[in-house]
């Protein structure tokens, strides 16, 4: 069984990769991902300037996943662009993703210009869904703003790009968002980011588990699986076939990855599990997905990608 997959002209020898924000802040962490069984990697979402992010505790493991309000801590775009340029020289056949999360239209466009003018030859993920910067609404929940950002962006940006979306929970929102996304030369849509603004409580102290925003933070892990499946499936049914899906959310084993691929995902990102288990998780996930494929009689990702059946 072969876990080879592709997005646009980019080929990956394994369908798994990290979710942005997880074990991808420093060059050391990024190198560990590069040396793991993952097919590729994405950098922590960057802002122009380095950010320290929110006060700790800002991440907590939960019974069925995680809660985080990191607050977009990152080393700044130049750091990750520098990593990417060095990486592509040393690994010409392993395209990587650069994630960008500007806090304003101007910042997003300025970073996009910097990337456009660089020799970066991988894919850019514009993160429209960071839920944890106090006072900053998620762009992905504002349809007009999303339309405006993408219009301005693609008026000059020519490198391969996609967007990271928040979860949607209403079919009319899938329709509206897909109608916007179909207007642009996107190579991929990545669904979903964490379930924004959840809250969990420490049973000993009756206190919110994390400090920022009175304890409100993005929820990841198994809690997110049914929402991730629905978002990948809904966009797979609505987007122009030229726009491929990346599935993110709730992957704890090979079957979870198999399900995201059935829903339409061409790549599968791993967040909470990677945070908790480390890059060795990719070795286990690869083994488990191969086992599921063998059971089903499939030898390639393309044999079952998007082949979810429904009851008639």
> Which residues, including other chains, have CB under 8 Å from residue 23's CB and lie 6 or more apart?
29, 32, 33, 274, 275, 278, 279
**Other Cβ atoms within 10 Å of 145 Cβ, number:** 15
Closest C-alpha to 146, from 119, 110, 114, 173: 173
CB 165 within 8 A of CB 177: yes
- Single out the catalytic residue among 130, 181, 234, 273: 130
CB 6 within 8 A of CB 188: no
**Other Cβ atoms within 10 Å of 214 Cβ, number:** 10
Of the candidate spans 31-39, 67-75, 153-161, 258-266, the one that interacts with ligand ERO by CB under 6 A turns out to be 67-75
Please report, as residue ranges, which positions from 94 to 153 form the binding site for ligand ERO (by CB under 6 A). 101, 127, 129-130, 132
Strands 65-68 and 216-221: antiparallel
Please report, as residue ranges, which positions from 235 to 254 form the binding site for ligand ERO (by CB under 6 A). none
- Among 18, 36, 48, 69, which residue sits at the site for ligand ERO (rule: CB under 6 A)? 69
CB 15 within 8 A of CB 5: yes
- The distance of closest approach from Cβ of residue 131 to ligand ERO in the complex, given in angstroms and rounded to an integer, is 6
- The distance of closest approach from Cβ of residue 70 to ligand ERO in the complex, given in angstroms and rounded to an integer, is 3
What angle do helix axes 77-90 and 27-35 make, rounded to 10 degrees?
30
Which lies closer to ligand ERO via its Cβ, residue 108 or residue 129? 129
- Among 3, 24, 67, 70, which residue sits at the site for ligand ERO (rule: CB under 6 A)? 70
CB 47 within 8 A of CB 74: yes
Please confirm, yes or no, whether 24 is among the known catalytic residues.
Answer: no
Which lies closer to ligand ERO via its Cβ, residue 75 or residue 258? 75
Closest C-alpha to 132, from 65, 193, 182: 193
Of the candidate spans 66-74, 181-189, 228-236, 252-260, the one that interacts with ligand ERO by CB under 6 A turns out to be 66-74
- Among 71, 140, 198, 215, which residue sits at the site for ligand ERO (rule: CB under 6 A)? 71
Which lies closer to ligand ERO via its Cβ, residue 95 or residue 220? 220
Of the candidate spans 30-38, 63-71, 82-90, 232-240, the one that interacts with ligand ERO by CB under 6 A turns out to be 63-71
- The distance of closest approach from Cβ of residue 303 to ligand ERO in the complex, given in angstroms and rounded to an integer, is 32
> Which residues, including other chains, have CB under 8 Å from residue 92's CB and lie 6 or more apart?
none
Cα–Cα distances (Å) from 252 to 17, 155, 272, 284, in that order, read 13, 39, 8, 10
Q: Is 45 near ligand ERO (CB under 6 A)?
A: yes
In 3-state terms, what secondary structure has residue 3?
Answer: coil
- Among 5, 14, 21, 254, which residue sits at the site for ligand ERO (rule: CB under 6 A)? 21
- CA dist 159 and 156 (Å) reads 9
- Residues 209-228: x where in contact with ligand ERO by CB under 6 A, - otherwise, as a string: ---------x----------
Number of residues that bind ligand ERO (CB under 6 A): 15
- Among 5, 14, 146, 193, which residue sits at the site for ligand ERO (rule: CB under 6 A)? 193
- The distance of closest approach from Cβ of residue 272 to ligand ERO in the complex, given in angstroms and rounded to an integer, is 10
**Residues that bind ligand ERO in the complex, under the rule CB under 6 A:** 21, 45, 68-72, 101, 127, 129-130, 132, 193-194, 218
Q: Which amino acids are annotated catalytic?
A: 130
């Amino acid at each position: 069984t072969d876990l080879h997959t592709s997005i646009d002209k980019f080929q990956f020898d394994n369908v798994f990769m990290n979710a942005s924000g997880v074990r991808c802040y420093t060059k050391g962490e990024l190198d560990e991902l590069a040396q793991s069984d993952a097919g590729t990697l994405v950098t922590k979402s960057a802002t122009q300037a380095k950010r320290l992010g929110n006060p700790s505790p800002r991440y907590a493991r939960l019974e069925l996943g995680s809660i985080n309000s990191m607050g977009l801590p990152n080393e700044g775009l130049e750091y990750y662009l520098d990593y990417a340029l060095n990486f592509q020289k040393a690994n010409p056949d392993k395209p990587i993703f650069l994630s960008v999360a500007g806090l304003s239209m101007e910042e997003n466009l300025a970073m996009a210009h910097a990337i456009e003018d660089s020799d970066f030859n991988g894919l850019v993920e514009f993160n429209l869904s960071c839920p944890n910067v106090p006072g900053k609404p998620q762009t992905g929940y504002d349809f007009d703003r999303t339309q405006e950002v993408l219009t301005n962006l693609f008026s000059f940006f020519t490198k391969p790009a996609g967007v990271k979306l928040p979860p949607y929970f209403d079919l009319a929102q899938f329709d509206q968002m897909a109608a916007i996304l179909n207007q642009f030369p996107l190579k991929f849509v990545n669904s979903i980011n964490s379930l924004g603004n959840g809250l969990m409580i420490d049973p000993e102290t009756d206190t919110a588990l994390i400090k920022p925003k009175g304890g409100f933070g993005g929820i990841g892990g198994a809690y997110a699986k049914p929402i991730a499946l629905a978002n990948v499936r809904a966009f797979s049914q609505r987007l122009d076939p030229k726009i491929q899906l990346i599935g993110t959310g709730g992957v704890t084993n090979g079957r979870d990855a198999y399900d995201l691929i059935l829903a339409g995902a061409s790549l599968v990102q791993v967040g909470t599990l990677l945070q908790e288990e480390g890059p060795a998780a990719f070795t286990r996930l690869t083994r488990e997905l191969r086992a599921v494929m063998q059971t089903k009689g499939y030898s390639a990702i393309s044999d079952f990608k998007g082949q979810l059946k429904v009851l008639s």
